Amino acid sequence: MSYGQHATPRSRGMLRTVLSWAGYAVLVVVLVLGMQKFIICPYTIPSGSMEDTIEIGDNVWSEKITYYFRDVEPGDIITFDDPEIPGRTLIKRAIAVGGQTVDLIEGVVYVDGVALDEPYTQGEPTAPLKTASGVDILYPYTVPEGEIWVMGDNRMNSADSRYFGSIDEASVSGRAVAIYWPLDHIGVL
């Protein structure tokens, strides 16, 4: 096109089409990021700490809506910020919440003096762990208000509250609700 000529109707149509598709792409990215921030987020499981409930390599959905209406409850499988490694997300089962007392006696977990029925642990004994540097845990342990005691279902292979202590409620990013991949593991948690 030489100087002074106007764009042809065809080139204007192509420009509109390109801009329209670019606008759709931006809208999709904004919607996906918004959903991950406020509604639901996918995670891939890197370790065996939740086996046999969740396996290494499983992909899970962690939804955020539930915790807009209620607090974390014992038994919920939650995703939360790793207390030791910034930017990393962990997944564990909530065992006790603020004000409850956790005790480990002869391989059994007790909350407020009641032995937990934990079929998801495959009968593995639960023992205290060597704690992280700067963490001091004495049993029975009363969970401070605003905190949660979490444990992996694979008690023999889980760095959890026995290691790093109870976690801050504010670090919880969601409640794991389903495995969506691989196909042979699909199911509700």
pLDDT at residue 21, as a whole number: 87
CATH 2.10.109.10 holds for 42-188: yes
pLDDT at residue 1, as a whole number: 47
Is 92 tagged catalytic?
A: yes
The predicted-structure confidence for 68-92, as pLDDT tens digits, reads as follows: 999 999 999 999 999 999 999 999 9
The pTM of the full predicted model, rounded to 2 decimals, is: 0.85
The predicted-structure confidence for 159-171, as pLDDT tens digits, reads as follows: 999 999 999 999 9
**Catalytic-labelled residue, pool 2, 20, 37, 49:** 49
Is 49 tagged catalytic?
A: yes
**Catalytic-labelled residue, pool 62, 92, 161, 173:** 92
The 3-class secondary structure across the chain, one letter per residue, is CCCCCCCCHHHHHHHHHHHHHHHHHHHHHHHHHHHHHHCEEEEECCCCCCCCCCCCCCEEEEECCHHHHCCCCCCCEEEEECCCCCCCEEEEEEEEECCCEEEEECEEEEECCEECCCHHHCCCCECCCCCCCCCCCCCCEECCCCEEEEECCCHHHCCCHHHHCCEEHHHEEEEEEEEEECHHHCEEC
Round to whole Å and give the CA distance between 16 and 65: 38
pLDDT band for 134, please (50, 70, 90 cuts): confident
